[in-house]
Amino acid sequence: METRDRRGLPVIVVVLGMLAALACGLPVTSAAQTQNAVPTNLSPALPAEDDAIVVTADVIAPPAATAGTYHIDGHQVTVYANAPLLSPAPPGYLQHFQWQLAALPAGSYTLFVSLPNVPSMGFVVRPRAAQLGLVGSRFQVTLADHQGGATPAAVQLSDSGGYFTFFDTTNIELTVKIVDGRALNGHFWIFVASMTDTPLSLTMTDTQVNNCSASNSCPSHTYTNPPHTNQNFIDVAAF
């Protein structure tokens, strides 16, 4: 059930919005254009579980409005704006609001902003795992960090790439991407971008070669970064 804030802002009519836009030097748009132009964003754009999530919105609101609290009801997230109830309602102007959410479990969510003309948006919180399964899970990518206290965790961004964190789930340490280059040289291309100087070993295994999974003999390649160095890897003939 949708949660509504009883302290919600009074509806800002289009005329007031146009006057406010003129007063602030902003371009005047129609009601439909205003609704379509309102940007609501998440940071990170593709969150994983355990990530702190920041919601931002650029909206027309009264001068004294501020970002308030948020409420989570199942897979519905509602963020609130606070403003004093004044009569007559003062004209609004374009403002930037920001809300800090706690980490959410993996799943699909709908985000609502308790302001007029702000459409809801859907987003997905991705599960955090110990390895990446890329290209239809054909390639399994695992990472071992040899520095004490590190706990490598993987977040898949697409079928062809993802990233690893080591110590802090908000701090990306290593990204991995696979490109199918077989049309050019008969191989898959591996790209590993490192943003750390900790010692690590990244192993990539092709699980679909001659039924190798059944015999536990799948081909693999390991890329190693020594301590106190930073290395990127480009391998266009690995598999």
The mean per-residue pLDDT over the stretch 63-76 comes to 92
pTM over 0.85: no
More confident residue, 195 or 38: 195
Mean pLDDT computed over every residue of the chain: 81
7 pLDDT tier (thresholds 50, 70, 90): very low
162 pLDDT tier (thresholds 50, 70, 90): very high
| 231-236, long-range: CB < 8 A, 24+ apart | 231/194, 232/192, 232/193, 232/194, 233/190, 233/191, 233/192, 233/194, 233/202, 234/189, 234/190, 234/191, 234/192, 235/189, 235/190, 236/181, 236/185, 236/187, 236/189, 236/190
Predicted confidence at residue 176, as pLDDT, reads 97
pLDDT at 111 over 70: yes
Sketch the domain layout of the chain as residue ranges.
14-125, 131-235
What gap in Å lies between CA 209 and CA 135, rounded to an integer?
14
Proportion of the chain above pLDDT 90, given as a percent: 44
pLDDT at 10 over 80: no
Distance between alpha carbon 145 and the CA centroid of its chain, in Å? 24
128 pLDDT tier (thresholds 50, 70, 90): confident
